């Protein structure tokens, strides 16, 4: 067991609310914990992250049925961005038109997907489908080819997905093209042709140039990987329907904003565009009252 204190504000209840939209993730809103699937070398372990502090004085308790080390603790810290203070970000947006959203969702951090491969598969599966169906497809994928450990679902590994036939994926009601993207990308990773876990050491532009060459990986997928896989702070996916809808609501528009309008408005939000994206998404996602009904 380990206890960790971090700088506030940090609202873990809002973290759990957002994570609860994904049916794969094991958590409890009332008990304030989430179970995180990780690996120690090739051995799966589950670490339970429980909030025992407040938004202003955040503190967390880490427990597991397995023995874990400082390496796994560092991984947890990275996932939940415990070393990134939200204070300068809140100050930055206090004088922008997003001020009310940032005040309403104060203390909401940019939480990463639990694994970079999971993030990439999720991004591919979520391409060009609505959010509810996207989560349904991801759940089918993980249940069909992943496994459970300590009651928590683990995504399949790239080598396992690489061995699948396209028909295995289309049987989950995904398109043939998406099946090809999922399996062919997994083959590249399994063969070492796409060194996915070296990406954290590279700059955004370098990652973009490397990944854009891969069939099925376009700008939207790369931006979301940079944002939720690597936690890069200045990403604003202009083609994202959720962000477009959030801005339409914020501005009181009859139609979705144009790319040119979004580019113009977002200038004031740099260098924290990723947080602008996150808080705009939060403004149209299910809120706590809806989730606990």
Catalytic residue among 22, 165, 240, 254: 240
- Return the number of other C-beta atoms located less than 10 Å from residue 239's C-beta: 12
Q: Which of 20, 53, 52 is nearest to 34 (CA)?
A: 20
Active-site residue flag, 240: yes
Q: Which of 132, 144, 133 is nearest to 172 (CA)?
A: 144
Q: Is residue 112 within 8 Å of residue 77, measured between CB atoms? A: no
Helical spans, DSSP H, in the chain: 12-19, 70-79, 87-93, 99-104, 116-125, 131-145, 158-162, 166-170, 176-190, 204-211, 219-224, 241-251, 259-266, 273-284, 288-291
What does DSSP assign to residue 55? S
Longest dimension (CA), the chain: 55
> Which positions are catalytic?
240
């Amino acid at each position: 067991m380990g206890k960790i204190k971090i700088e506030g504000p940090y609202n873990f209840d809002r973290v759990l609310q957002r994570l609860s939209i994904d049916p794969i993730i094991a958590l409890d809103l009332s008990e304030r914990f989430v179970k995180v699937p990780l690996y120690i070398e090739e051995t799966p372990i589950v670490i339970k992250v429980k909030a025992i502090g407040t938004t202003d004085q955040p503190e967390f308790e880490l427990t597991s049925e397995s023995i874990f080390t400082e390496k796994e603790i560092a991984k947890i810290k990275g996932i939940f961005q415990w070393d990134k203070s939200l204070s300068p970000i809140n100050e930055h947006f206090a004088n922008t038109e997003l001020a009310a959203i940032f005040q309403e969702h104060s203390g909401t951090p940019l939480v990463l997907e639990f694994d970079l491969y999971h993030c990439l598969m999720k991004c591919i599966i979520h391409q060009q489908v609505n959010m509810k169906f996207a989560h349904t497809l991801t759940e089918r994928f993980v249940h069909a080819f992943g496994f459970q450990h300590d009651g928590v679902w683990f995504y399949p590994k790239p080598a396992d997905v690489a061995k699948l036939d396209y028909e295995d994926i289309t049987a989950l009601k995904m398109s043939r093209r998406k099946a090809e993207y999922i399996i062919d990308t997994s083959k590249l990773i399994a063969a070492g042709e796409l060194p996915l876990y070296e990406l954290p050491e590279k700059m955004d532009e370098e990652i973009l140039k490397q990944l854009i060459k891969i069939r099925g990986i376009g700008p939207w997928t790369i931006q979301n990987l940079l944002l939720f896989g690597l936690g890069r702070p200045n990403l604003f996916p202009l083609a994202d329907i959720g962000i477009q809808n959030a801005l339409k609501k914020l501005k009181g528009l009859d139609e979705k904003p144009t790319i040119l309008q979004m580019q113009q408005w977002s200038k004031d939000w740099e260098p924290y565009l990723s947080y602008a994206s996150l808080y705009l998404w939060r403004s149209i996602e299910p809120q706590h009252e809806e989730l606990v009904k």
